[in-house]
Each structure stands twice: as structure tokens, then as C-alpha cells.
């Protein structure tokens, strides 16, 4: 296909001047990986990937592109599940990679804050916190690749939302490059600051449609002194919820994560992930992973875990459990959960439904959406799993064994709409933690129409009147 919308040579020369030779990729072999998502569902094209190394360079790049009226797609680790960082297919948009802006600017163990640039990976941010004796309480499967800017732009949730909230709850300050190239320095690290509209929260979750997050001040917490992880075989989603409620009532401050997995999802992990072993005596139809932690050195977390599990066993909420005896075993149990997405990818084509409902309605969601999908497409393999403790289930669906992947994927809207009809009935949301990206803007009028979508459009017009920031994402 001819590159009808390639960026002008003059703009590329200007960008090369700003970022230097290491900062500009134009060879299609170099730019190709930045133009598709990791699931290979979206295939865009781009004339260049611009990689600024500082906020000043970033601001100059954005200003030059604004003057040339060329649209930008900000990109972090490119781990979006909804195509949020893929450029358009016509090659007209440039990718703005933040990966060279990856410095830790400051860690303060008294203020419990970390000031870090957008292109640092979440893992690097966690390590910086740990080196200062603190914990950055945000954890997701892709943390080795996903970057702070992307995490904030998508308001990532992950495993610890039940205890610490989502990414937005951890942000005290931001440095943002606005669509015209101005820098807003809002890198404050105050716990209280009531001075008008909370602008930073506009950029968190905006998926790069309002500007580019350049750096952030994140909240830290004390590092845990003790932690415990258990994997339980449970008879039903209802039993898993009862187990969660039991732990949460006992000590909400120690429940770091409570994850649900289905028998089939675990089967896929055991089949496809090298080294994965089920540490329980027998396969179960449903599993729960409990992660407890406390910063109190004297607290006997193990005794508490065992007492609550004992009571759950007596109450019939749980059939069997294994408690990790070492850090290696804790990691091995977590790996069974974290590899769910990868195992599903290896099993075949899958359609993701990152949805949330009130926690109390998770079992009903699993039952009703399972029945609805099986009625829609006999043979479909239902693989619900995820963050039961915060009501966010990944209601993922794997292609029937005897159906072509392309034929299955062609039915994605019908399948997503079937799940979403149940979610709506249960007062839930069509996107819990992955965002809207390119996959779900079509759902926005139906779910967020009226005053809500009108307000979002007004905000977009006010901040990005030329529509140059991540076009085609979030807003239909």
C-alpha cells in the first residue's frame, strides 16, 4: 500500500534535530513493532517513532507536530489489551515512545513518595520503592514491560486494587505535556491540596487523548514485614465469594489480593506454561488465590491465615488449600494466575471482556454470562478469572476447538455484547481496568451517553481542540 499520509520530510528533519539520531526511527523494520499491539489484533502503520529523552525534548516534539497538524499516539510498553497505543492504518500518525524517559527523579521514604518519569517500567518503579524500604502497591501481569505513563494513562488496576485502589488512587502529582507543547508542572507531593479542579485526575485514564504524561509523583506505603499466599480449591464462585468475605471481614487491611480462577483457565496454564504445576492434590472446577500482607513485624499472619481457612473448610466454602512455604512457592502460585492471559493466547483465539460488577454480584455474573455465551455459540470455552475482591472479572472466551480463529474473532462484537448485557443488568461496567482504547469506543454512546459523553467531548475540545492526541481512542 502506498504511504499516502507519510509525514513531511521537513517535520522529520525538525524532529531529528530535537531528539537526535537515536531518538527517531523511520525504517519500517524498526517502526513495525510499535505499530501493532502485543495480541496482534490491530495493525497500524506509522512514518516514524519519536523517542524523546527529556521533558524538554518531549515538549518540543509535541509543539512541532501540533504546528504541522500531525497526530501523535503516545506509547509506553505497548501492553494495551484494547489497542490503545496502536496508530491508524493510513500511516498519518506518529508514535511517541516514552521509553527513553525512564529516570527515577526522587524517592522520599518519609513523605512516602516516588517521583519517576513516564517511560520507566512499573517493575523499575517497584524496585526503586523497594530500595528505599517502601512498597509501590500496584502490580499487574505485564509489570516488567508496562510503563508508568501507560499505567497512569489507562488507570491500571491489577491485583492490589482490593487493598490500595487503582493507579489513580496512587497519584499525587503529574508533569504533563499538553497538546500544544506547553508543559504543566503539577509534580506536587501533597496529601492535601484543595485548589480547584483536580487536573491530574483528568489525565489519568484519558489514554493519551488529552496530553502526554511525562512524569509522576506516586504514593508509596511501608514495605510488608510478612506475607502469605494460599491457593484454594473451591466448589463454586459463590463459595469463592464467601471465602473472600470471610477474609475481608476478619482483617481488610491484610487482604492484598483475592483472585478467582476457573478450572479450565488453570488447565490452559498447566498445559501451555513450562514448569507450571498445580500444588493441590486434585483438579478443581474453581480456585481462589489469597495474598495477605502486613507491615507489622509481630503480627502472626500465618496463624490468622490458617484459622480463617480452617473456619472456611468447616463452613464448606473450601475443599482444599495449599499455603506457600517460601518466596519461591509464593511466586509459583502467583505465576499460575499471572500466566492466564499468555496460556489463553497459546490455546487459540480469545475474546476479552474486562468487566466489573459490584463484588456481591460476581458469582451471578459468572453463571449468567457463561450460560448466555454457551447459548450464543455452542462449544465456546468460557474462561472467567481475575480480581474477584474488587469485582473485576476477565470474562474471557476461547474459540471452540473446531472453529477457525478468524471465524471466532469475527463474532467479537456479538460475544462482547452478550456478556455486556448481563453486566449492565448487574449494574456493572463494560471496561474495568483495561480502558476503552480502539476496541470499545463504539460502546461509549450506549453506556456513557447523554450528559456524561457530552462532558467528555467538551473536555476533549477544550484541551485538544485540533484532535491531535491519540485520535480514535476512547471517544467514538
Applying CB under 6 A, the residues found at the interface with ligand MLT are 81, 141, 340-341, 352, 354, 386, 394, 396
CA pair distance 464, 206, nearest whole angstrom:
12
Q: How far is the CB of 396 from ligand MLT (least distance, A)?
A: 6
**115 or 344: whose CB is closer to ligand MLT?**
344
CB of 266 to ligand MLT, least distance (A): 13
Give the nearer residue to ligand MLT in terms of CB position, either 286 or 352. Answer: 352
Q: Which is nearer to ligand MLT, 87 or 386 (CB)?
A: 386
Nearer to ligand MLT, 76 or 173 (CB): 76
C-beta of 403: minimal distance to ligand MLT in Å? 20
Nearest partner of 157 among 404, 453, 394, 426, judged by Cα: 394
User: What is the residue whose three cell numbers read 501540533?
Assistant: 66
* Minimum distance of ligand MLT from residue 372's CB (angstroms): 19
Query: 3-state SS of the chain: helix, strand, coil percent to 5?
Result: 40, 20, 40
Residue placing its CB nearer to ligand MLT in the complex, 433 or 464 = 433
Q: How far is the CB of 286 from ligand MLT (least distance, A)?
A: 17
Using the 8-state DSSP alphabet, how is residue 472 labeled?
T
Residue 158 Cβ vs ligand MLT, minimum distance, rounded to whole Å: 7
Spacing of C-alpha 47 from chain mean position:
28
Cα–Cα distance between 372 and 369 in angstroms, integer?
Answer: 5
Instruction: Report yes or no: 356 and 430 within 8 Å, Cβ to Cβ.
Output: no
Cβ 341 to ligand MLT, closest distance in Å? Answer: 3
Other beta carbons within 10 angstroms of residue 211's beta carbon come to 26
Report d(CA 155, CA 151) in Å as an integer: 6
283: how many CB neighbours lie within 10 A of its CB? 12
What cell does 196 get? 480547584
Residue closest to ligand MLT, measured at CB = 341
Q: How far apart are the first and last CA of the chain?
A: 26
Estimate the crossing angle of helix 362-376 against helix 237-250, to 10 degrees: 160
Grid coordinates in use for 283? Answer: 483438579
Amino acid at each position: 500500500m502506498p504511504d499516502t499520509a507519510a509525514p513531511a520530510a521537513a517535520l522529520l528533519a525538525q524532529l531529528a534535530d530535537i531528539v537526535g539520531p537515536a531518538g527517531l526511527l523511520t525504517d519500517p523494520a524498526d517502526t513495525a513493532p510499535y505499530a501493532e499491539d502485543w495480541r496482534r489484533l490491530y495493525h497500524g502503520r506509522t512514518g516514524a517513532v519519536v523517542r524523546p529523552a527529556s521533558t524538554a525534548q518531549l515538549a518540543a516534539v509535541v509543539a512541532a507536530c501540533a504546528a504541522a497538524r500531525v497526530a501523535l499516539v503516545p506509547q509506553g510498553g505497548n501492553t494495551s489489551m484494547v489497542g490503545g497505543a496502536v496508530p491508524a492504518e493510513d500511516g498519518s500518525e506518529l508514535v511517541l515512545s516514552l521509553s527513553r524517559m525512564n529516570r527515577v527523579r526522587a524517592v522520599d521514604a518519609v513523605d512516602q513518595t516516588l517521583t519517576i518519569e513516564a517511560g520507566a517500567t512499573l517493575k523499575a518503579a517497584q524496585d526503586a520503592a523497594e530500595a528505599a524500604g517502601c512498597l509501590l502497591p500496584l502490580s499487574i501481569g505485564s509489570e516488567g514491560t508496562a510503563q508508568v505513563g501507560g499505567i497512569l494513562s489507562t488507570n491500571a488496576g491489577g491485583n492490589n486494587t482490593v487493598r490500595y485502589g487503582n493507579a489513580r488512587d496512587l497519584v499525587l502529582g503529574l508533569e504533563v505535556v499538553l497538546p500544544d507543547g506547553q508543559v504543566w508542572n503539577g509534580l506536587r507531593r501533597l496529601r492535601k491540596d484543595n485548589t480547584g479542579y483536580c487536573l491530574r485526575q483528568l489525565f489519568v485514564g484519558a489514554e493519551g487523548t488529552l496530553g502526554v504524561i511525562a512524569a509522576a509523583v506516586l504514593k508509596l506505603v511501608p514495605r510488608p514485614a510478612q506475607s502469605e499466599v494460599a491457593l484454594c480449591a473451591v466448589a463454586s464462585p459463590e463459595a469463592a465469594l464467601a471465602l473472600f468475605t470471610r477474609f475481608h471481614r476478619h482483617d481488610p487491611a491484610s487482604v492484598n489480593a483475592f483472585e478467582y480462577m476457573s478450572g479450565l483457565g488453570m488447565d490452559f496454564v498447566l498445559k501451555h506454561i513450562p514448569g507450571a504445576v498445580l500444588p493441590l492434590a486434585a483438579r478443581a472446577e474453581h480456585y481462589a488465590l489469597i495474598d495477605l500482607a502486613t507491615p507489622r513485624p509481630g503480627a502472626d499472619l500465618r496463624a490468622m491465615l490458617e484459622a480463617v481457612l480452617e473456619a472456611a473448610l468447616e463452613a464448606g466454602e473450601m475443599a482444599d488449600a495449599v499455603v506457600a512455604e517460601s518466596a519461591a512457592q509464593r511466586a509459583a502460585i502467583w505465576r499460575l494466575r499471572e500466566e492466564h492471559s499468555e496460556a489463553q493466547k497459546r490455546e487459540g483465539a480469545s475474546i476479552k471482556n474486562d468487566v466489573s460488577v459490584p463484588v456481591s454480584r460476581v458469582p451471578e455474573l459468572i453463571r449468567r454470562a457463561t450460560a448466555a455465551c454457551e447459548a450464543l455459540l455452542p462449544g465456546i470455552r468460557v474462561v472467567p478469572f481475575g480480581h474477584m475482591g474488587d469485582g473485576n472479572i476477565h470474562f474471557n472466551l476461547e474459540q471452540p476447538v473446531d472453529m477457525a480463529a478468524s471465524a471466532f474473532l469475527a463474532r467479537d462484537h456479538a460475544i462482547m455484547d452478550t456478556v455486556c448485557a448481563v453486566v449492565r443488568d448487574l449494574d456493572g461496567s463494560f471496561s474495568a481496568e483495561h480502558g476503552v482504547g480502539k476496541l470499545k469506543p463504539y460502546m461509549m454512546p450506549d453506556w456513557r451517553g447523554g450528559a456524561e459523553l457530552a462532558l467528555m467531548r467538551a473536555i476533549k475540545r477544550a484541551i485538544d481542540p485540533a484532535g491531535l492526541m491519540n485520535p480514535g481512542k476512547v471517544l467514538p
